[in-house]
Every structure is written in structure tokens, then in C-alpha cells.
Amino acid sequence: MTDYILSCCSTVDLTKEHLDSRDIKYACFHYELDGKQYLDDLGQSMPLPDFYKAMADGAMTKTSQINAEEYEAYFRPFLEQGRDVIHLTLSSGISGTINSANIARDELLEEFPDRKIYIIDSLAASSGYGLLMDKLADLRDDGMDIDDLAAWAEEHRLEVNHWFFSSDLTFFIRGGRVSKAAGFIGGVLNICPLLNVSNKGELIVRDKIRTKKKVIKESLVKMQQLCKDGADYSEKVYISHSACYEDAKALAELVEAAFPKMKGKVLINDIGTTIGSHTGPGTVALYFWGKKRVD
């Protein structure tokens, strides 16, 4: 057992079983579905297919981040056990939760002055954030101490590439990421926007591609252009999706054929309720290690 806790938010969009098997602790965001409050607890309270069906049927969603008091209650037991903590938050380009985590850290360090609490902005989201956490778990398991792990995370976090598309612009329009006019035209022309996460951790539309088949192929092209070691890529690849498994599977098959040296098969995950509240059904995201994001 290491002398520190590796921790994240539930917005890593990995399964509870995966996080438990890697000994990665997590704090839960919150969401509302038609006014009823739930924990974003990796699909434990509500199966994700039920969540996306409700959205498709017109249910309204709202999300809320973890507040300082919740972080303090979450971190405290680890410190009382004499353990240090390294916690990576959901990207500050998407959520302000890092501010709450920093407030909780400052309060707790007054009470536990001999302990270390690292709060690090992942600048990542969904299973890209999960891919980063999985790598940190590997390094921890190989014996890296908490100080070096924190430094490694800050140095390499921008190497996690996120590319994603949506075949349903309804919820991007509702969230203001796509205008109503552009969304209408996109629907008529069957346009699927291709987005990524910038070096500031923000979601940016990079291209507008007609038809889902073409945007799936373009996602592969982005990986071929940007991934670590090109065709010899040997790291893990994650894909997440919101109620469109067949689209995720189609992309995974292309990736596995193009990168025969990758570590294992592509791991396909569900987009969780926090991120999914903003994307809605029909989004597929590809995550891999590659060139450092510069814009």
C-alpha cells in the first residue's frame, strides 16, 4: 500500500469496478433530472441507458459541482488515516470545481499541517480524464512518490488528446455551444461537429463534417496525425459514448485495425450523467496519448 490516496471526480467516466480495481478514489458530482436530485455515482443510482432514454424523451437536466464542504468531508477520512492525497479535478475549462477543492485543501491543512494535499487541474474530461488517472495509477503502482506523481501529472496532462462528435445537436443547442440557426442547418445537412478539448481544457468545435460515417473516419485521421509514435502507438485507447454503442464500436474497430501495437483492446465506456447532461445522446469521444495540446 502506498502512503497516499490517488483521487478524482466521478466525471472520469470509468466504471466503479474499474476505479475500485485500480484503487482510485472518487468524489461525486450531482445532477437533476426533471427536478429530482441524484448523485453522479457512475450509474449506480440510475442506469445510464435509463438516463439517456429520459433525456431523449424530453427530460430536463441540470448539473452541479462538488462544493468545498463536500470536498472537506471527502478528504478528511484519508487524512485521519495518516494518508496524503493527490486529487485531480475535472477541467477548469468546463467546471469551477477546482476552486472548491482548493478551499477544502486550505481548510484541512490548517487542521492536518503534517499532511500533503495536491489539487491538480486535469484539463481533461470524461474518459480522457479517466485515461490520465489510469496512467497515474500505473506510475503509483510502479513506486512513484506523491511529489513526483503530482509533477508528472502537471507536465503530461496536455498529452491526453480528446476528439469527439455528436450526431444529435439538440443538447449542444440547448447548452449554447451551437446556435439554433447553425443547429437547424446542421440538422438539414446532416452535419456532425467534430470537437476537441483545448490546452485550456475547454470544448472547441474544430470542424463540421457531413454524415456520421465521415466523422467517424475523421476521428481516426486525427489520431493518426496526433498520437504518440504514429502507427507504432503502444499506449491505451479509450472511447466513451452516450447511448450510441454501435457508433463507438465502429470507431473502436477502425482504431484497433490501424494501431495493432496498442496496449490491449479499445476500452469503451459510457459517458456519465454530468458530461452527458450537456451532450445528450449521440456523442462519441476518442481519447489517446499524443502531441501536447497547444491551442
Q: Return the residue matching grid coordinates 478528504.
A: 75
**pLDDT for residue 261:** 98
223 near 288, Cβ under 8 Å? Answer: yes
**pLDDT for residue 187:** 54
The CA-based angle 57-268-252, given to 5 degrees, is 110
**pLDDT for residue 210:** 87
**pLDDT for residue 188:** 42
DSSP 190-239: TEEEEEEE-TTS-EEEEEEEESHHHHHHHHHHHHHHHBTTGGG--S--EE
**pLDDT for residue 184:** 44
**pLDDT for residue 193:** 87
Q: Alpha-carbon distance 287 to 32, whole Å?
A: 27
- Which regions of the chain are under pLDDT 50? 1, 181, 183-185, 188
pTM for this entry: 0.94
For the stretch 157-172, pLDDT in tens is: 999 999 999 987 676 6
